[in-house]
Amino acid sequence: AVGNLALLGDAVALLRTLSAAGVAARELKGPALVLHQYGTPTLRQCNDLDLLLDESQLMRAAALCTTRGYARLHPDPALPDALLPLWLRWHKDLVFRHANGRLLELHARPANCPDTAQRLALPLGYGEVPLGGGAALPTVLGEALYAYL
């Protein structure tokens, strides 16, 4: 439960950083979905933070995340950034680890297979999950995401 609260804090901080730089992103699944579905982030443990953004903004977002203490894990950091667009043809995300140990996935789409991703994208909507105190977390909503619960 404490891990989900930490991930929500990470999500708020990262989404603010990205938004300030003009990069639109939303939380995909994770603690925001648990909070939306159950009314509390503590009923299901999440292992990482997943952000969904347009593929055209993925490299900018990755660079911004490194300024916030995240280091790329997958693909291997030895893979040159110039080859990442090729990587993303066949993989849905880039994976990072923060200095605090928490994981972050930057998703260009919700699934590795482009056909599956397209089918999942159809019923997805965008909304916000209220966090309290007038704050809200931009997120992806839709029945297709309940498979992640």
Give the pLDDT score at 117. Answer: 59
* pLDDT grade for 125, boundaries at 50, 70 and 90: confident
**Cβ-contact 96, 78 below 8 angstroms:** no
Whole-model pTM: value is 0.87
Is it the case that residue 149 has pLDDT exceeding 70?
Answer: no
**What are the residues whose beta carbons fall under 8 Å from the beta carbon of 137, sequence distance 6 or more?**
8, 11, 12, 15, 27, 32, 128, 129, 131
Q: Pick the range with the lowest mean pLDDT from 22-36, 57-71, 93-107, 117-131.
A: 117-131
